[in-house]
Structure 1
Amino acid sequence: MVKQIVLANAPTGFPITEMGKAESTFEIKQVALPDLKDNQLLLQTVFISNDPAQRLWLQQNRNSERAYMPHIPLGELMRASSVARVLKSTSPSFKEGTMVQFFGGWAEQLVVDAEDADPLPDLPGVGPSVFLGAVGVPGLTAYFGLKEICQLGEGQVIIISGAAGATGNVAVQLAKHVFKASKVIAIAGSDEKCQWLEKIGADHALNYKAPAFSDALVEAARPSYADCYFDNVGGPVLNACFSAVKRNGCIAACGSVSGYNNDSSQMALSNWGEVIINRLTVKGFVVMDYYHRRSEAVEVLSSAIKEGKLTIAGGETIVRCPDFEKIPDVWMRLFRGENTGKLVTQVADFYSW
């Protein structure tokens, strides 16, 4: 029997992570795993990815026809990208002990088809958790957002919100050091995070909680204003950025984390007139649309790490979680701004790989 955390109740605001209450969002189940069939793997979860989008997967009242990923049914495993170690294998492609990445969940162990797991690429000098962050979905999101949506060119100006997060910090570094933007304006939620962002590539880093944030943003964008705004948060920050993007500029709509835990709210976009007056293009995107080009992004991201253009130091928060029932509490750190860079939960030890 192994432990798994499943969805017990769909939250209407912030999830209730304390187990055992009638209204708890999650509950722990003891599950008997099936015997391996041909070409299957028994995986021991080592690292679990924490992502804001997981909050959207809990909604039971969303129109599934319009969702990029179906919601998690009540009683089903909480999904998450994961890095795991192969405990047993009936596949000729995987040996026991191999470290793999797969789309798993909050589970001690899982049985999966071998075709659903990818062996970790060889990237000396970094730990396997990086494949959930800078070289994982957040890194791919940053790369394709800059390349395909922003179409960022050398010498251009870009604004990036949620810049101290998993996707944002990679976007800042790629924009400055790989795409060679002339000015990168980063937005985060604390002075400490802003100081870190300036160390890794931001020309200006602004705390959106500061009283004069909107004025400081426009001043930082002048005189040319920004060619593109890479939006990870939505809400008031998006509203402020409308005034800082140049005429015929672009807004890459990547996330709206500011509203994920407030189902009844509407994003107040009183500045929407800027979109019309300045002929702005707002384009949403989901990284899954580009996943068939994953190898392209991994090559660029891996090269950037090797060349010192993309640093992992300070851009990853790993929380060791020996108490399995505390996994949801670690995830909730995302929504309290308690992490810098990628937030990863470690639930087991790993060995040399």
Structure 2
Amino acid sequence: MTPPPGLEARIGLSRGTLEVSVDLTASPGEVVAVLGPNGGGKTSALLALAGVIPLRSGRVAVAGEEWESAGRRRRLPEERSVGLLLAEPLLFPHLRALDNVAYGLRSRGVGRRAARARAHDELGRVGLASHHGARPRELSSGQAARVALARALATDPRLLLLDEPLASLDPDTRARTRSDLSARLAAYDGVTVLVTHDPLDALTLADRLVFVEGGRVTQSGSPGEVLREPRSAYVATVVGLNLYAGELGPAGTVRLDGAGSLVTADAPAGRVWATIAPSAVSLHRQPPEGSPRNNWRLRITDITLQGQSARVGLAGALPLTAEVTLAAVTAMALRAGDEVWASVKATEVRTYPR
């Protein structure tokens, strides 16, 4: 059975020296997260979907309707069934929450009573029915973000575009608002495209991840697929793995591109990606004893605290990130600039075909 049409987009455009060529597809009800480094083209792709940037090549179709095809008539932004939510809520300061949410409906000709009734319903869906009379200055940052989400969804858009919607929130507010956003998106039957730098936002909100680097899609897949098998240095950084490219030989040795090698327990597979979880890296002041078959003398470049653990950046024969406990940092008196031994068991080196 053919699934109902959702989003079908082939986006080709130029932004300065950046050439963007990105394909995005999604089914109704699906959330697609677009991630990538600054200047990689992800926001440009989002603005093309909104109609703000015209296509140089490709097309955009939503729910079976063609919104744009390069060289032919294109729907202007106001002619597209789009809801847009940015990092800043951009609420009208002189309007109460109810009328902020009703604004899009009123601008489309919906009567005042009907628009307000729908706005009240949307505020209830994001848990803010009791704040309908509050002005933006009377709302917390998380509440303002939820009002902006209600406004974006009040017009029943076929396409919801979220550009770093949680970026301006503090960590506690961000966690609560992320949970509210997840619940609301689960009840939305249109297509959502989320642009974010935050891996937690992407992994908890999205059904599929698309990574855009240098204007091109470098990897796409479900969160589980991407977590298991990152295919670029940027993706590996996002999912928190050490990633290397090389050739796996019959003796279980991966000859890395450039220089160096790893020993793995995996079977020979030719050209491979090799990953090491930071938690699988152990650090020592003296050459380690025992079974590890991968040992390097490396220099600590940085130490970043994360709760009760620390991520330790290492440079030398093999760039590596280790994750150790705060107790280990203290016991070993680890400092940036120190030299330490790093070891990894062969069974902790995972490989998969390139």
- Decide: shared fold, TM above 0.5: no
Structure in which a larger fraction of residues adopt strand: 2
TM-score by length of 1: 0.27
Tell me which structure has the larger Cα radius of gyration. Answer: 2
The answer to which structure, 1 or 2, has the higher relative contact order (CA under 8 A, 6+ apart) is: 1
